[in-house]
């Protein structure tokens, strides 16, 4: 998602500006346990409502146009000609198993184009309607941005299909007006195919440095990506030394500590030796740059990929659970703004992969060994990935579960049938005593996700058998399963919401046995005396230290 754009020289200001940010992980077929291509995305924003976008395939008459509204703001930007046929899209995946995710890196603010009408969100969702493969998607994005002008700042895209995965980075060319027209309209860009068996990631910092100029099978780029940089006074070295990110989005402390650190935290889970880049992740050594992609020590399962999105830097030097900012219950979050100042000294809280202000998130799988309607599974969730649950939605569904539908509530209107509001109720309550409540929530999350991963294999087999003779019946089966499973998850969270309130009401913890709350033994529906867990030791010491003798017990001599 977008963040404020500030000149790269203003490091402290930039560090405070990255308050809305997203994270993408990309796993190639050869790196996954089930030979699927997987992409994750968290749409992190303080203003985005979590809903599952659905656009059925459609035919259009010649001359019809498409109105463009900026995804972040809803601002009308203009209109473009519509194509004759658009493909069905479910969230950030289409009927051909094409997946697109993004993170905004901003880059040089002077390269923004105020005359453009294609913002990054529109590029995603229009491209999904018009492209079948990752390579086609790259062409569509480039053509749209160059034809109609690019209305956003620097952007990294994850673009994947059942066979291959790419990281694509782009930025505008700024405004150079001649006779009322911007002669710099369009983008400069580079796209690199991730080698099979490897894993890539990006998190609001451009990551492509030098790239091969003579390998179109694995690397594509704008013909003027280097010459434009020279003309704009951004680069004066050789073609061989040209680095896309160092030229168009120079690295700074915030880019390392607030962004690249999220990539590092995931890479270290799957690849030995990543701790040698710790000084880079901490923002201390830009020369010790991490690789663009890494080869995992072993193949990665879909459940592991889901859990990567729940990372809070646990057991690293950036772990947020043990300083006073975590409060009395080891909360791994900090409220915005990220930066603060004390006695003229500036400080910056961590920005982990899992964050409170998430509209929606997903883990999408593209599987080339199944027909498209069955092969594409879009695991979708809303709110904070740390304590929310993903549920499978096949890319061929003809109906969206009510709890995820657009129009079912919005950011300033509560809906009792909306998953976004329900998950926010549960998670915001858990923030009060995270060390205890999050364990209860994650127990349910893991049971459901592990159960559905097994169930999907059974549904795949049933649908494939049916698809051979009756494709329409197979799609009905997949739709019914997707809708029913999502509603069952919603119902489970209604139950969980009530359970947590009863168990943790008023700072107490009611006693349980065999899944039932204990009473006091007198048959009058009065609970057994509850536990009083109090606060963690860090909090007690901080309170004692900040109050002096005010709370100190004294002994009264008799």
For residue 143, what is the enclosing H or E element? helix 134-148
Q: What is the pLDDT of residue 21?
A: 76
Q: What is the pLDDT of residue 20?
A: 52
Q: What is the pLDDT of residue 1?
A: 54
Q: How is 243-258 classified by DSSP, letter by letter?
A: -HHHHHS---HHIIII
For the segment 203-242, what is each residue's pLDDT rounded down to a tens digit? Answer: 999 999 999 999 999 999 999 999 999 999 999 999 999 9
Average pLDDT over residues 303-322: 97
Query: Under 8 Å CB-to-CB from 527, ≥6 apart: which residues?
Result: 510, 511, 517, 518, 519, 520
Average pLDDT over residues 122-141: 98
Are 528 and 502 found together in one domain?
A: no
Q: How far apart are CA 188 and CA 172, in angstroms?
A: 6
Higher-pLDDT residue of 7, 102: 102
Are 134 and 148 found together in one domain?
A: yes
Are 488 and 517 found together in one domain?
A: no
Are 340 and 487 found together in one domain?
A: no
Q: What is the pLDDT of residue 53?
A: 98
- Count Cα atoms within 13 angstroms, Cβ side, for 349: 24
> pLDDT over 90 for what percent of the chain?
95
1 located within any domain:
no
pLDDT band at 104 (very low <50, low <70, confident <90, very high): very high
355 located within any domain:
no
Question: How many Å from the N-terminal Cα to the C-terminal Cα in the chain?
Answer: 66
Average pLDDT over residues 274-286: 98
552 located within any domain:
no
| 3, pLDDT greater than 80 | no
How many other β-carbons are positioned within 10 Å of the β-carbon of residue 517? 14
Q: What is the pLDDT of residue 557?
A: 86
Q: What is the pLDDT of residue 558?
A: 82
2 located within any domain:
no
363 located within any domain:
no
Higher-pLDDT residue of 187, 6: 187
Q: Where are the beta strands (DSSP E) in 241-382?
A: 293-294, 339-342, 345-348, 358-366, 377-382
For the segment 475-503, what is each residue's pLDDT rounded down to a tens digit? Answer: 999 999 999 999 999 999 999 999 999 99
Are 99 and 216 found together in one domain?
A: yes
Are 54 and 157 found together in one domain?
A: yes
Average pLDDT over residues 259-263: 98
Are 306 and 235 found together in one domain?
A: yes
For the segment 335-372, what is each residue's pLDDT rounded down to a tens digit? Answer: 999 999 999 999 999 999 999 999 999 999 999 999 99
Are 295 and 417 found together in one domain?
A: no
CB 281 within 8 A of CB 260: yes
Average pLDDT over residues 504-517: 94
Are 322 and 413 found together in one domain?
A: no
Which is nearest to 324 in space by CA: 12, 506, 546?
A: 546
pLDDT band at 6 (very low <50, low <70, confident <90, very high): very low
265 located within any domain:
yes
> pLDDT over 70 for what percent of the chain?
96
Which is nearest to 169 in space by CA: 149, 183, 153, 148?
A: 153
Residue 330's domain spans which residues?
11-348
311 located within any domain:
yes
pLDDT mean across residues, the chain = 95
| 422, pLDDT greater than 80 | yes
| Phi, psi of 124, deg, nearest 5 | -60, -55
Are 284 and 395 found together in one domain?
A: no
Average pLDDT over residues 410-438: 98
Which is nearest to 142 in space by CA: 132, 150, 153?
A: 150
| 8, pLDDT greater than 80 | no
Are 500 and 521 found together in one domain?
A: no
What's the number of domains the chain is made of?
Answer: 3
| Phi, psi of 486, deg, nearest 5 | -65, -40
Q: How far apart are CA 164 and CA 420, in angstroms?
A: 32
Are 498 and 518 found together in one domain?
A: no
For the segment 436-473, what is each residue's pLDDT rounded down to a tens digit? Answer: 999 999 999 999 999 999 999 999 999 999 999 999 99
558 located within any domain:
no
| 10, pLDDT greater than 80 | no
């Amino acid at each position: 998602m977008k963040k404020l754009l500030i000149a790269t020289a203003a490091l402290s200001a930039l560090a405070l500006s990255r308050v809305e940010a997203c994270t993408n992980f990309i796993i190639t077929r050869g790196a996954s346990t089930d030979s699927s291509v997987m992409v994750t995305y968290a749409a992190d924003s303080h203003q985005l409502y979590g809903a599952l976008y659905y656009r059925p395939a459609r035919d259009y008459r010649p001359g019809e146009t498409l109105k463009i509204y900026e995804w972040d703001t809803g601002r009308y930007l203009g209109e473009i000609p519509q194509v004759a046929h658009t493909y069905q899209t479910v969230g950030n995946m289409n009927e051909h198993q094409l997946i697109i995710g993004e993170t905004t890196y901003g880059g040089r603010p002077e390269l923004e184009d105020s005359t453009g009408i294609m913002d990054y969100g529109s590029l995603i969702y229009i491209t999904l309607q018009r492209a079948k493969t990752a390579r086609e998607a790259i062409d569509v994005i480039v053509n749209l941005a160059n034809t109609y002008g690019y209305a956003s700042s620097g952007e990294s895209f994850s673009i994947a299909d059942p066979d291959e995965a790419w990281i694509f980075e782009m930025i505008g060319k700024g405004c150079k007006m001649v006779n009322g027209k911007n002669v710099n309209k369009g983008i400069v860009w580079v796209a690199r195919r991730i080698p099979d068996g490897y894993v890539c990631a990006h998190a609001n910092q451009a990551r492509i440095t030098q790239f091969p100029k003579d390998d179109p099978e694995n690397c594509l780029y704008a013909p003027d990506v280097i010459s434009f940089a020279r003309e704009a006074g951004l680069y004066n070295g050789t073609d061989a030394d040209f680095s896309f990110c160092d030229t168009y989005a120079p690295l700074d402390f915030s880019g390392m500590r607030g962004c690249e650190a999220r990539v590092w935290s995931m890479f270290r889970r799957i690849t030995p030796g990543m701790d040698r880049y710790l000084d880079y992740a901490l923002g201390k050594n830009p020369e010790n740059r991490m690789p663009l992609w890494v080869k995992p020590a072993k193949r990665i399962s879909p459940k592991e990929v889901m859990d990567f999105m729940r990372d809070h830097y646990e057991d690293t030097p950036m772990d947020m659970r043990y300083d006073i900012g975590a409060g009395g219950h080891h909360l791994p979050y900090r409220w915005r703004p990220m930066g603060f100042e004390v006695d003229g000294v500036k400080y910056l809280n961590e920005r982990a992969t899992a964050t409170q202000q998430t509209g929606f998130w997903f883990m999408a799988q593209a599987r080339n060994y199944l027909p498209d309607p069955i092969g594409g599974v879009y695991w979708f969730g809303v709110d904070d990935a740390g304590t929310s649950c993903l549920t499978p939605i096949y890319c061929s569904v003809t109906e969206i579960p009510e709890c995820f539908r657009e129009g079912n509530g919005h950011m300033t209107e509560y809906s009792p049938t909306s998953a976004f509001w329900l998950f926010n109720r549960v998670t915001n309550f858990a923030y009060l005593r995270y060390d205890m409540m999050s364990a209860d929530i994650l127990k349910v999350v893991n049971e459901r996700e592990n159960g559905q991963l097994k169930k999907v294999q059974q549904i795949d087999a049933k649908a494939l058998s049916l698809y051979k003779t009756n494709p329409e019946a197979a799609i009905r089966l997949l739709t019914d399963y997707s809708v029913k499973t999502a509603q069952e998850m919603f119902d489970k969270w209604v139950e969980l919401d009530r359970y947590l309130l009863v168990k943790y009401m008023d700072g107490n913890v009611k006693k349980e046995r065999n899944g039932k709350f204990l009473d006091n033994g007198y048959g009058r529906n009065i609970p057994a005396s509850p536990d009083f867990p109090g606060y963690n030791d860090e909090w007690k010491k901080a309170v004692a230290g900040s109050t002096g003798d005010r709370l100190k017990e004294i002994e009264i001599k008799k």
